Structure 1
């Protein structure tokens, strides 16, 4: 594998960025601040309607801003038309010209910039090789697979040497195996080009696999931004914890004895108690399950009944219903601890430092809604 190219991408910063559509009750993007570092792979992650794509379109220049600033290496670009921002863009639907060959599609942005023919030929050839499509330049999009068409779109977006590449759900139209293959291609391109990537997705696994940092969007705002490890291991809220990976969530109130859920009392980690309402989040792979008389060990032990066992090949997901209330799931190596069956009695346990206390924003929202 070649060494990564030193970062040469642009630093992108948005300050107070807001977008309101006429007639909408709430802002699509509500005063967000975000710095994207030079050469960074930043992912905007969130559910549909959270504002991530609108944010990307404002950075690209496809959507006018209502308020705020967008800067590229310190220069305000918010009022520049898209073609003057010199940013590469890749769409979910490829957006290739069907009557042009792959090479002609890739050459299009160079011709628009009036690059010399000899230089166009050189750059197009290099771009085809970069995306592993050497020898496919004369094929029409209809003669290429979906994955090959997306590679052409990637090549077209980088052939004019932009300092940042914006990608709007670029793998959304592909099947699972092809998505995983293209994820590796995109990661390789980022390493080899050394430019800034801004990637929009609603796929949590994609975000975790590709990103240097992730900004989690919710209702037009950024709920939390950080590295994949930071967001997974130390989510700031119940929303982030449940959106970014599977979670067991125990909601309740803090007291001297730990967390009181109303149906059990749990020991919780020190240091980040927060204010009520709070929730204890424990990832499924941090739980242990004991059955068939095996002893359970851990700071927290709950009796439960198995409601389902889902086999995933390398691991299994065991769904349980806890005595007294609540449901959960345990993820362990397939076959570890013997076979399990529906309705089997088990003990579920975990160590106190396996969990993290977060703001229970779901409960806070419900309380606020009831008070109105």
Structure 2
């Protein structure tokens, strides 16, 4: 909007939420610094604590202990309407009996903004989400994507310094999701305010975020930029939750990982470890001779090939029975189920994580 004051920073300190009768806290003493004006995504599976954290920031959940600082002021005990934060919900939460314009105007009327200013701000908000000419329509006369854009406009019309978004695209189909992702990214750039976005969709998080906080069981596993989390995961959970991974477990010593059935070149400390290799970092060579170049090379049998347009997913079974996957261009080496292949990758293509075990749902060998 025309009078946005810029984003506010949020510092979460030792934040805890415990529900009566629960065996473990929903949020277990987390610390998180959200920079003014950044797009921070809280990512994790259901029950990981990301939505509970967002609701505590919003004021919809009572804090058991800890602090929530908005530009240095503790707001943890303030009611939601006194925090000055915008909120977008997954289910839109529009008033069905009000027009789009009246829905957008609602937070301004609650703040007793003069009528002429309300009209101007509503026009600006409708233009911001490309809904000019739709102000007189009821929510039931709008598509799901249009309703969510009305919800976005309502959340920013009063010029909040922070916008909280709770899985706002979860109810939309894939094409609409991708379209709204672009609009949300554009809104963030234009408004310059702080966005805190909750999702369980890894691709959505990678596409939108300045930084991502990965949640698991009420804790934060890692915080970083999308490229940091994808290229340099700090834990096995991050490596396997954020994108696909091949994971090889064993013992590392002097730059070699002994899995019990293979010896792989790696880079990292000695000791019990798992080597994480992204599917796109591997290359395929066909034929039993396995003459392909590459520091690491494992023989395998193709079990399935999944066509995905410009790319394909090649699923394989290693000779010791472990499962793996390669993602490459469809124009590369032709393979089919039953083919014998060699998977090759340089030592620096993988990330060695010490003292870990591959999770049950990841491709692994050893």
TM-score w.r.t. the length of structure 1 is: 0.93
Instruction: Specify the alignment match of 1:140 in structure 2.
Output: 138
Instruction: Specify the alignment match of 2:317 in structure 1.
Output: 321
Could you say if the C-alpha distance between residues 104 and 174 of structure 1 is closer, same or farther in structure 2, counting changes exceeding 3 Å?
same
- Once the two structures are superposed, what CA deviation does each residue of 1:286-318 show, in whole Å capped at 9, x if it has no partner? 000001467311111001000000000010110
1:173-252 equivalences under 5 Å are: 173-252=171-250
Q: Which of 280, 285, 288 is equivalent to 1:290?
A: 285
| Aligned counterparts of 1:143 and 1:8: Cα–Cα separation in 2 | 34
Report the aligned-residue RMSD: 1.7
Shift of 1:240: 0.1
Between Structure 1 and Structure 2, how many residues are aligned?
357
- Once the two structures are superposed, what CA deviation does each residue of 1:150-188 show, in whole Å capped at 9, x if it has no partner? 000000000000000000000000000000000000000
Could you say if the C-alpha distance between residues 256 and 66 of structure 1 is closer, same or farther in structure 2, counting changes exceeding 3 Å?
same
Instruction: Specify the alignment match of 1:301 in structure 2.
Output: 297
Deviates more, 1:6-15 or 1:22-31: 6-15
Q: Which of 340, 344, 355 is equivalent to 1:345?
A: 340
Shift of 1:335: 2.5
1:7–1:39: 8 Å Cα contact kept in structure 2?
A: no
- Once the two structures are superposed, what CA deviation does each residue of 1:216-251 show, in whole Å capped at 9, x if it has no partner? 000000000000010000000110001111111111
| Aligned counterparts of 2:350 and 2:81: Cα–Cα separation in 1 | 48
Secondary structure of the residue aligned to 1:266 is: strand
Shift of 1:356: 0.5
1:15-30 equivalences under 5 Å are: 15-30=13-28
| Aligned counterparts of 1:257 and 1:183: Cα–Cα separation in 2 | 42
Secondary structure of the residue aligned to 1:162 is: coil
- For structure 1, list consecutive stretches of 5 or more residues without a partner in the other structure: 366-372
Could you say if the C-alpha distance between residues 137 and 212 of structure 1 is closer, same or farther in structure 2, counting changes exceeding 3 Å?
same
| Aligned counterparts of 1:8 and 1:100: Cα–Cα separation in 2 | 30
Shift of 1:26: 0.2
Could you say if the C-alpha distance between residues 7 and 360 of structure 1 is closer, same or farther in structure 2, counting changes exceeding 3 Å?
farther
Secondary structure of the residue aligned to 1:13 is: strand
2:255–2:266: 8 Å Cα contact kept in structure 1?
A: no
1:310–1:316: 8 Å Cα contact kept in structure 2?
A: yes
- Once the two structures are superposed, what CA deviation does each residue of 1:187-229 show, in whole Å capped at 9, x if it has no partner? 0000000000000000000000000000000000000000001
